[in-house]
Structure 1
Amino acid sequence: MNIIIIRHAIAEDRAVFAEHNTDDSLRPLTAKGIKRMEQARQGLKRLEPEADYIFSSTLTRAVQTADLLAECYPEAIRKAIPQLNPGSDPAKLTSLLAELPTQSTILLIGHEPDLSELISWCTNGSHFNFLQLKKGAACLLQFKGTAKPASAEMIWLLPPRQLRSLGLETCA
């Protein structure tokens, strides 16, 4: 099983959005965030040509990021799930992932610091965050069988700039 963990693209500033809205879950991507994710998704597609599932948190910015990625993976099953919402327990997500076929490639779009905790949970079984994903960054975890704690190997971790660079190479 291959799981690609992706932090949502650049969203509107939290403080500015809060001046007019009370529900941060509705905070959308910026035009810059959309443009950069459109470039980065080409790099991601180059690294991982196929995806079976695209799961995102239910927050607007993650759903919008997943929608942009789904354009490159039209055959993937697409779903927003609460197990990727901020503050969710990684054990609940790995239980869901364990129900999927072991040969699957799954894209997970969510938020920090939860995604870093998920990477830690999958690679060493702890909740200790040993890295931080920038907005639009991606990390490939590979499991020999089903997803369970301390059973993944990190294959790559790329900041958004490198994903965009790979995408430009694809289009050239």
Structure 2
Amino acid sequence: MEILLIRHAIAEERTLFAHTGQPDAQRPLTEKGRSRMRSAINGLRRVMPQIDTLASSPLLRAVESAQLLAEGYGLETPLQLPLLAPGGDFDAIAAWLAGHDEASRVCLVGHEPDLSELIGWLTAGSGESFIHLKKSAVCLLRCDLLPEQGTCEIEWLLAPKQLRQLG
């Protein structure tokens, strides 16, 4: 199984958005974030031409990022997976992943530091974050066994600027 972990694109500034009185979960992407994500998707398609399953955190910025991915890949509406919201349970995420075909390419769109910690948990067996995903960055993990704690390997990690250069 190949697992793409993607951090959401650039969203409205947290402190400025707080003044709207809306919950942080409703914080949307900026136009700059949308534009850069579209460019990053063009580069991503060069190194990952197909995605079989696309899921995102239910927070708006992740949902909007996943919608851009769906458009770029010609996929149906992405699944909103509450497990990908900040503070999600890694065992539950692994169990959800295990329900997919071993040959599938699953893409998860979420948040920091959760995604970096999930990468650490899936690869090194520790929930510590030893990498940092910039907004719109992508990490590809390969799991030859069931995706569980310490069973995956990092294939590559691309920053948004690198993805845009590939596009």
Q: Does residue 164 of structure 2 align to residue 130 of structure 1?
A: no
1:66 aligns with 2:54: no
CA distance in 2, matches of 1:100, 1:130: 27
**Is 2:67–2:77's contact at 8 Å kept on the other side of the alignment?**
no
Q: Share of identical aligned residues, percent?
A: 48
Cα distance in 2 for partners of 1:59, 1:107 equals 16
Which deviates further from its counterpart, 33-42 or 87-96?
87-96
Relative to 1, partners in 2 of residues 1:77 and 1:68: Cα closer, same or farther, differing over 3 Å? Answer: closer
* TM-score (norm. length: structure 1): 0.94
Q: Which runs of 4+ in 1 moved over 4 A?
A: none
Q: Structure 1 unaligned segments of length 5 or more: list them.
A: 168-172
**Aligned-partner SS, 1:94:** helix
RMSD of aligned C-alpha atoms?
1.1
Query: Structure 1, residues 108-140: CA drift from partner, whole Å, max 9, x if none?
Result: 100000000100011011111101110010000
- Answer yes or no: is the 8 Å Cα contact 1:90–1:117 preserved in 2: no
Q: Which amino acid aligns with 1:11?
A: A
Q: Which amino acid aligns with 2:84?
A: L
Q: Structure 2, unaligned stretches of length 5 or more?
A: none
Q: Counterpart in 2 of 1:103? A: 103
1:9-40 Cα distance to aligned partner (Å, 9 max, x none) = 00000000000123000000000000000000
Tell me the CA shift for residue 96 of structure 1. 0.4
Deviation at 1:148, TM superposition (A): 1.3
Aligned residues: 167
1:2-151 matches, within 5 Å, as: 2-75=2-75, 78-151=78-151
Map of 2:154 onto structure 1: 154
